[in-house]
């Protein structure tokens, strides 16, 4: 008989997150995961019909999810399980495996070609490009518990009537906030055409067309046309500003000053990563995140002290800092008064 008590808990934890990552990635590729998250109960037959995947295959997949602790089977009908429920910790599991999938999936082209990046970063960056959809999805996954709740709380603290979200993607954060602020409106600004198209569809489906404007544009354009941020009570930028560093730091400074003039009463909420997070519990992931951004993406992350100084120089002397769930992540809330 196997003595399971001798297996280290740490080893089991690593195996658990790996197994769940594999299954959740498969589910996403099949297009059968989102339905599972948005419905209290799913039917194997209905999911098979919607996805175009044969029912036995879908049934086997959900049985595997159940065995992995991510789903709960309903009662058997005719000897077979026909319905499944999401397990209570499914959302937390998605958050956790998001890190693994972002690091080893989204960043796979970078890691696999490390020698090329070490020898000639500009050339390698043009040749070995990450899958934008995968990056966006896994970033969203690891932000389910470690970004969105904290960013949302920071935004809601100002009870804003107008929220501008820079790098808004499909407007998930905006919609989260506006559902709790029924008298408020929002503006989402994103460079990605595909993200904006999807955002408009999601906004329409949510019945918020009259409350949300989606603008397809680079955030740099606000320097010359600040009209989208005029009158804003909150201007939020989540992990977008480090993309301007080091090459466009002057533009970043100009953007912050534009916010100060166009929306003098606004709280500017910058959510971004600092290099090599100093707290013991954030060392490992923050080290990898910093190294990848510096040596594979040609991005410069700046420490808390530099962010405070940059915001102060732009006309926001009142700056508070709090930690994000993502290691190395910080929330800088800046106000003019």
Report pLDDT for 337: 85
- The answer for residues whose C-beta is within 8 angstroms of residue 11's C-beta and 6 or more apart is none
What's the pLDDT tens digit per position in 170-213?
A: 999 999 999 999 999 999 999 999 999 999 999 999 999 999 99
Domains of the chain: 4-88 (1.10.10.10), 92-146 (no CATH), 152-335 (3.40.50.150)
Residues of the chain with confidence (pLDDT) below 50: 1, 10-11
Structure confidence at residue 12 (pLDDT): 63
List, in order, residues 6 or more apart from 208 with CB less than 8 Å away.
Answer: 175, 178
Per-residue confidence (pLDDT) for residue 38, from 0 to 100: 82
- pLDDT reported for residue 319: 98
pLDDT of residue 36: 85
Residues in the chain: 337
Segment 110-157, tens digit of pLDDT? 999 999 999 999 999 999 999 999 999 999 999 999 999 999 999 999
Confidence (pLDDT) at 246: 96
The SS3 assignment for 314 reads coil
For residue 149, the model assigns a pLDDT of 96
């Amino acid at each position: 008989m196997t003595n399971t008590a001798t297996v280290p808990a740490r080893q089991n934890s690593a195996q658990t997150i790996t197994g769940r990552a594999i299954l959740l990635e498969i589910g996403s590729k099949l297009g059968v995961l989102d339905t599972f998250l948005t419905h209290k109960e799913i039917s194997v037959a209905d999911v098979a019909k919607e996805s175009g995947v044969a029912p036995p295959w879908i049934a086997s997949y959900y049985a595997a999810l159940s065995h992995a602790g991510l789903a709960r089977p309903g009662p058997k009908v005719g000897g077979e399980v026909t319905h499944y429920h999401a397990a209570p910790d499914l959302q937390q599991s998605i958050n956790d495996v998001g890190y693994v999938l972002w690091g080893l999936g989204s960043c796979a082209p970078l890691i696999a070609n490390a020698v090329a990046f070490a020898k000639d970063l500009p050339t390698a960056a043009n040749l070995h490009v990450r899958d934008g959809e995968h990056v966006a999805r896994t970033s969203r996954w690891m932000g389910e518990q470690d970004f969105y709740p904290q960013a949302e709380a920071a935004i809601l603290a100002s009870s804003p009537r107008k929220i501008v979200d820079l790098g808004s993607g499909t407007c998930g954060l905006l919609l989260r906030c506006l559902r709790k602020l029924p008298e408020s409106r929002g503006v989402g600004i994103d460079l990605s055409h595909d993200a904006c198209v999807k955002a408009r569809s999601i906004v329409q489906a949510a019945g918020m067309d009259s409350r949300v404007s989606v603008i397809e544009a680079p955030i740099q354009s606000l320097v010359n046309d600040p009209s989208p941020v005029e009158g804003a009570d909150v201007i939020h930028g989540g992990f977008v500003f480090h993309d301007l560093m080091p090459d466009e730091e002057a533009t970043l400074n100009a953007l912050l000053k534009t916010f100060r003039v166009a929306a003098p009463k606004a709280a500017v909420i910058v959510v971004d990563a600092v290099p090599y997070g100093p707290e013991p519990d954030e060392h490992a992931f923050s080290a990898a995140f910093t190294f990848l951004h510096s040596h594979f993406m040609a991005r410069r992350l700046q420490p808390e002290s530099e962010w405070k100084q940059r915001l102060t120089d732009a006309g926001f002397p009142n700056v508070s800092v709090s930690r994000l769930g993502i290691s190395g992540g910080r929330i800088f809330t800046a106000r003019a008064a």
